[in-house]
Structure 1
Amino acid sequence: MKFGGTSVANGTNMRHVASIVSENHKNGFKVVVVTSALAGVTDWLLEAAEQAKNRSESYVQEFKEKLLSRHSEVISAAIEKRSIKAEVSQTIKSTMNELEKVLVGINYLGELTPKSKDYVLSFGERLSAPILWGTMRDLGLEAKWLTGKDAGIVTDSNFGEANPLMNVTAHQVRERLQPIIERGIIPVVTGYIAATQEGTVTTLGRGGSDYTATILGVALSADEVWIWTDVDGIMTADPKIIPTARMLPELSYQEAAEMAIFGAKAMHPRALEPAMKENIPVRIRNVFNPSNPGTLISSTTTARSTDVVKAVALIKDVALINISGAGMVGAPGSYAKVFDVLGKNGINVMMVSVAVSAASISLIVRRSLMARAVSTLEIALLGKMVSQVSAEDDICVIAVMGANMQGTLGVASRIFTAVAKSGINIRMIAQGSSELNISFVVKEKDGEQVVRAIHDEFKLHRAWQ
């Protein structure tokens, strides 16, 4: 069971989470718990790490007091027994002192490396896990808290988005957690955190607590991995746009991966990789509505063949970059040069569309990176093989997804006819070879209307009734 930051945002929520664990434990389930940092704390730590290298040492002390106060409030509300409360409070204070030393070191050096940033960010989960551990004990459960490093998760040294070394990780996790579980003790493991083979702390990337859960699930051959969040499951569309949107009871791994990449709430994109490889089902559940079974993600689904499209997503905060030039025509490696320039400047390309003439290429990037992308492309390529680089920031991406789209005739026609009937122009189109996803670009002001048109065309509000 993995619980996200909203699930453990305050003392009341923390106690509710502990009661969910308790109920499932009493029902005979062998449970391993993974917890995120308290909601917002990882952002606090990231800002503190950046500020520490430029601000005075007094800033570090002020931040420490702010963070201690937040966690002390949670402890007071979540734990009733004085002895347990005192024990957890002491653990938190000791961890805070360690964090203070790290931030002071960054302050003295005036430098924040990827390695030290990972170390700072690891403190969010290291502060929340002991509180959940104490809360569970307060409810009468036997529990033991561990960092991801202590649990045996080993990664490479790609700080900020480390990759697990699954063979050694599986061996160590079984060796360290299985005896605890067999004694009836519930492990409470920090999400997001791991370590290199040398013991240096790493992180699995933002949202990596999901990844921790599936890594542990695979290593322990779990029956299911439950991702507890603040939504009932994965929806056919954003309920804020489509009030009649429905929860999807089932998805294939491939569908869920596509939807996660395009922003479907409740799942980290990389988290599905280990579960998919070992065929471990993943279930998305609502911590505030535990009676709802949620969305089951597995290798097989019972979807009807008529359910061609499963969901439609709207991705905002993106920009369209158009690159053109006669010098690109027939020039080997011209597209590679474009991607090389962007990659070296830390700009990820989300979507690509090219003309068969090879005279132009269109890219989608995050809107916050648009200006940097345009300037770096102009500096590196303008006047050489490229004659023009232009950008549009008033656009959005519409992604239409479903496994049954593969090999089904007329899906694209229905999508684009629905858009045309709404009087909306499409700026760019892309479809991968898997045929699980058709993505296209429209003006941002038209985005919600397009989502509604496609949702209605495929009757997604009735798909699972």
Structure 2
Amino acid sequence: MRIVMKFGGTSVRGDGFRRIHEIVSRHLPENQVVVVVSAIKGVTDELIDAAHRARRGDEREISEFLDRLVDSYMELVEVSLGREHLNEAFGIASKLKRDLERVLFGIMYLGELTPRSLDYVAGYGETFSAKVGAFILSKLGLEAVGLTGKEAGIVTDDTFGDARILLNATRYSARRAIEPLLEAGKVPVVGGFTGATQEGVMTTLGRGGSDYTATALGAALDADQVWLWSDVDGIMTADPRIVPNARTVPELSYREAAELAVVGAKALHPRALEPVWDAGIPVYVRNTFNPNGPYTVIHGKEEVNEKVVKAVSLIREAGIITVYGPSMVGAPGTAAKVLEVVGSTGTNIMMIAQSASESNISIAVRRTSLDKVYSALERELVSRGVLRSVEVEDDVSIVAVVGAGMKGTPGVSAKIFSAVAERGINVIMVAQGGSEMNISFAVKAEDADEAVRAVHDAFRLGEA
């Protein structure tokens, strides 16, 4: 059997590579295993900050950061192997540091940070994890080979910061890079989150992109399974920090999992299921720190049981923009103009609703996008008389209720909103797709946690 295993940022820190060694070793040699690793938790944010500091000319801060970065990976080596191999590992890390240093100082001298150069810097944590991680695993007894996303054959478009993997090109390149290693009994250790354009320019896949790397490699290499290891027992019925009795969801269909990923379930990158969906490759979400504990398997079967709702997810720090205007009534194309203006700001719309009177349209976006969307609508539509006014509500959270069993089941919406109303919570906005698999609604941020608990309790998701 061929398995792709991805280990997230919390899984690689501390003595994480010892745990990775234990997990991978259990499945060798009867299986072929490809390992995908993230940067140590927090490193990507620090790299992005370092890139911006470089643009501002903070030379001392750059040098201090690079030293801290090397030290953090040397700590992994020391914790996993002791001090015996530190000098050898330091040589590997120092070479990576010099490569990164050249880029950061180039940004500083030019005083310019382009999306292309930011991607190069932001993805370097995964490069460190792959190269240093492979060194650790080799010393622990595995024949591990560290590869960047580019070296592993991950081919993407040139949307820097949120690149999309080109699956056909990746299939060809990844097979050529990885198949010989697997056939030779080696364990490829691939840095997640990054790839390269067909011209060889480094790109990143968006936050949580290591999931996407793993599933793309799974599809490219015709893997039998993809395992996503993190610090939670699979995908939960709700965030256990909000709902203490939240449980692991044993099974989800691709569509259910995709809905949860899009509405903020931390266990999955929103695009992670695209590569494996058509191939029918099951994805297991497991806990590195509890490898024998409960887990979630995601597959192509949409099984409807007594649990009509599978999970409740929450997106914090959202906002709602509502546009008004009598001229909108009966005027074809007004909604399209609104969406076009919002799209021109590079903003993703999470929810949209329009009244039957056609006199107003409400959209929900991330709070960080509110100002630029408001300004664009005022400039492009209000000032030209297309709209009368734009109103903003900036203290909102979105609750998403997901489950295949909701489709065609009478009373689900009534049960959701009755449960929320009984807790004294006002619903500001509602949206439901035609699939009936996801009902999303917006509430005041201060009411968000209680709304999640209300829905979770109403559908008894905490019960076996």
Normalised TM-score (structure 1): 0.95
Q: Could you tell me how far apart the structure 1 residues matched to 2:50 and 2:78 are?
A: 25
Counterpart pick for 2:17 among 6, 14, 18: 14
Look up the SS of the partner of 2:352 in the other structure: strand
Amino acid at match of 1:407: G
Partner residue of 1:2 out of 6, 21, 26:
6
Structure 1 gaps, min length 5:
none
Q: Using a 3 Å threshold, how does the CA distance of structure 1 residues 59 and 245 change in structure 2: closer, same or farther?
A: closer
- 2:352 matched to which residue of 1? 352
- 1:434 Cα deviation from its structure 2 partner: 1.0
Deviation at 1:433, TM superposition (A): 0.9
Q: Following TM superposition, by how much is the alpha carbon of 1:302 offset from its aligned partner in structure 2, in angstroms?
A: 4.7
What residue number does 1:373 align with? 373
Preserved CA contact (<8 Å) 1:236 1:247? yes
Answer with 235-244 or 103-112: which moved more: 235-244
In structure 2, distance between residues paired with 1:145 and 1:314: 36
Are the structure 2 counterparts of residues 199 and 394 from structure 1 closer, same or farther at C-alpha, using a change threshold of 3 Å?
closer
The alignment status of 1:24 with 2:27, answered yes or no, reads yes
SS in 2 for 1:291: coil
Q: Map residues 142-291 of structure 1 onto 2, 5 A cutoff.
A: 142-291=143-292
Q: What is residue 319 of structure 1 aligned with on the other side? A: 319
Contact 1:81 1:138 in 2 (8 A): no
Q: How far apart are residue 177 of structure 1 and its match?
A: 1.0
Q: Partner letter of residue 125 of structure 1? A: E
SS in 2 for 1:392: strand
Q: Which moved more, 1:244-253 or 1:445-454?
A: 445-454
The structure 1 segments of at least 4 consecutive aligned residues displaced by more than 6 Å after TM superposition are none
Retained in 2: the 8 A contact 1:326–1:385?
A: no
- 1:307 aligned to 2:317? no
Q: 1:261 to 1:323 in 2, by over 3 A?
A: same
Tell me the CA shift for residue 29 of structure 1.
2.2
SS in 2 for 1:400: strand
For 1:96, the equivalent position in structure 2 comes to 97
Q: Supply the AA of the counterpart residue of 1:423.
A: G
1:140-182 superposed Cα distances (whole Å, 9 cap, x missing partner): 1111111111111111222112222211211221222112111
Structure 1 residue 225: Cα displacement: 0.3
Q: Is the 8 A contact 1:2 1:213 kept in 2?
A: yes
- Matching residue's letter, 2:233: D
In structure 2, C-alpha distance between the alignment counterparts of 1:451 and 1:168, rounded to whole Å: 42
Percent identity of paired positions between Structure 1 and Structure 2: 50
SS at match of 1:33: strand
Unaligned runs of 5+ in 2: none
Shift of 1:81: 7.5
Contact 1:5/1:37 (CA < 8 Å) preserved in 2? Answer: yes
- Distance in 2 between the 1:397 and 1:57 partners? 42
1:385-424 superposed matches below 5 A: 385-424=386-425
Cross-structure match for 2:331: 331
State the Cα distance separating 1:303 from its structure 2 match: 4.6
Aligned to 1:43: 45
Q: 1:122 to 1:19 in 2, by over 3 A?
A: same
C-alpha distance in 2 between matches for 1:77 and 1:240: 30
Q: Does the 8 A contact of 2:147 with 2:191 survive in 1?
A: yes
Residue by residue, what CA displacement relative to the aligned partner does 1:82-129 show, whole Å, maximum 9, x if unpaired? 3x5433321110010011110111111111111111111121111111
- Structure 1 111/451 Cα, relative in aligned 2: closer, same or farther at 3 Å? same
Query: What letter matches 2:44 in structure 1?
Result: T
User: Deviation digits for residues 164-215 of structure 1, max 9, x if unmatched?
Assistant: 2211211221222112111111110110111111211111122111110001
SS class of match (1:7): helix
- Deviation at residue 447 of structure 1 after TM alignment: 2.0
Displacement of 1:367? 1.4
Aligned equivalents of 2:64 and 2:425: distance in 1? 52
Partner residue of 1:361?
Answer: 361
CA distance in 2 between partners of 1:131 and 1:146 (Å): 10
Q: What is the CA distance between 1:449 and its match in structure 2?
A: 2.2
